[in-house]
Amino acid sequence: MNNEEKKTDRYVESDSNPDPITGQPGAHPVGTGIGAAAAGTIGTVIGAAGGPVGAVVGAAIGSVVGGLTGKAVAESIDPTVEDNYWRENYASRPYITPDRTYDDYQHAYRTGYEGFSRHSSRPYSEVEPELKQHYETNYGASKVGWNQAKYAVQDAWDRVRNNTMSHDQEDYWRQHYATSPYYESGLTYEVYQPAYQLGYQGYSRYEGRPYEQVEPELRQEYERNYGSSNLGWEKAKYAVRDAWDRVKNAMHR
């Protein structure tokens, strides 16, 4: 083997990002199967692992995520990171019983985050029967049957979905905040960021309720958490509404 071949082998080994279960190279195993015309799901509180029985909001993540479709969606999801996250946090989830280990649930979590990579353009409720079939076909001998595993599956799905949307919203508003009519010259994005975040997270939490009904609760939350901000509610509310409307409009196209 010549020096160039050795260098190539070392590069492949260091960049292979082995599968957490099989040890095989390739961190993003299912990314190529998602179409570019995605229009799918967002939901529950963004940036945190959504609960297994939380509300699932339907429609239009393809529009909201701003082009993170197909291979790009999968490449934004690192199975090794997800596996490590759930290994460290599974025991705190409400559906886990003391007699179960992480290994008992590992395949369920994997089914969830890989499932989102394959089906990010569709709501979880629509995909669940296929995930059930996949789980029972491949892991039917597991100690954890589908009726218990399904909570972990949705938990893992929700986590990667929420993180994907959160990154997109952050990127969008960071690029566009200064062109908004309510922008105040001299203020940085970091000043506006909590307001935007409250808006797009708020829509996910309160989906189905009109903004006018929810605004008092959003205001209370903003003033409780960011009362000392340079951006008081009377100015922040425009950014909150803007972020809320962006998600709402994408979902109802």
pLDDT (tens digit per residue) in 75-124: 668 999 999 999 999 999 999 999 999 999 999 999 999 999 899 888 88
pLDDT tens-digit profile of 117-130? 899 888 888 999 99
pLDDT band (50, 70, 90) for residue 56: very low
Task: Count up the domains in the chain and report the number.
Answer: 2
- If asked whether residues 81 and 156 sit together in one domain, one would say yes
Residue 14 lies in a domain: no
pLDDT band (50, 70, 90) for residue 179: very high
Residue 171 lies in a domain: no
Selected residue with higher pLDDT from 146 and 170: 146
Alpha-carbon gap, residue 80 to 106, rounded angstroms: 12
- If asked whether residues 126 and 212 sit together in one domain, one would say no
Domain range holding 113? 27-161
Residue 169 lies in a domain: no
| Dihedral Cα 30, 86, 158, 176, nearest 10 deg | -90
What is the dihedral sign for C-alpha 43, 211, 64, 164?
negative
Alpha-carbon gap, residue 214 to 193, rounded angstroms: 20
- If asked whether residues 148 and 32 sit together in one domain, one would say yes
Residue 205 lies in a domain: yes
Q: Among 174, 207, 199, 169, which Cα is nearest to 68's?
A: 169
Residue 204 lies in a domain: yes
Buried b (16+ CB within 10 A) or exposed e, 12-50: eeeeeeebbeeeeeebbebbeebeeebbbbbbbbbeebb
Selected residue with higher pLDDT from 82 and 28: 82
- If asked whether residues 155 and 185 sit together in one domain, one would say no
- If asked whether residues 51 and 84 sit together in one domain, one would say yes
Residue 166 lies in a domain: no
- If asked whether residues 157 and 189 sit together in one domain, one would say no
Q: Among 67, 75, 39, 77, which Cα is nearest to 158's?
A: 77
- If asked whether residues 141 and 213 sit together in one domain, one would say no
Neighbouring residues of 123: CB distance < 8 A, sequence distance ≥ 6: 40, 41, 56, 57, 58, 59
- If asked whether residues 154 and 92 sit together in one domain, one would say yes
Residue 170 lies in a domain: no
- If asked whether residues 64 and 148 sit together in one domain, one would say yes
Residue 253: predicted pLDDT: 57
Structural contact between residues 79 and 29, judged by C-beta atoms closer than 8 angstroms? yes
- If asked whether residues 125 and 82 sit together in one domain, one would say yes
Domain boundary among 161, 190, 224: 161
- If asked whether residues 198 and 156 sit together in one domain, one would say no
Residue 251: predicted pLDDT: 66
Residue 168 lies in a domain: no
Alpha-carbon gap, residue 1 to 229, rounded angstroms: 61
Average pLDDT, the chain: 77
Domain boundary among 130, 161, 192: 161
Question: Considering only 4-18, 113-127, 199-213, 220-234, which range has the smallest mean pLDDT?
Answer: 4-18
Alpha-carbon gap, residue 106 to 108, rounded angstroms: 5
Three-class secondary structure of residue 31 per DSSP: helix
Three-class secondary structure of residue 42 per DSSP: strand
Question: Considering only 42-56, 67-81, 219-233, which range has the smallest mean pLDDT?
Answer: 42-56
Q: Which contiguous run of DSSP H or E holds residue 205?
A: helix 189-206
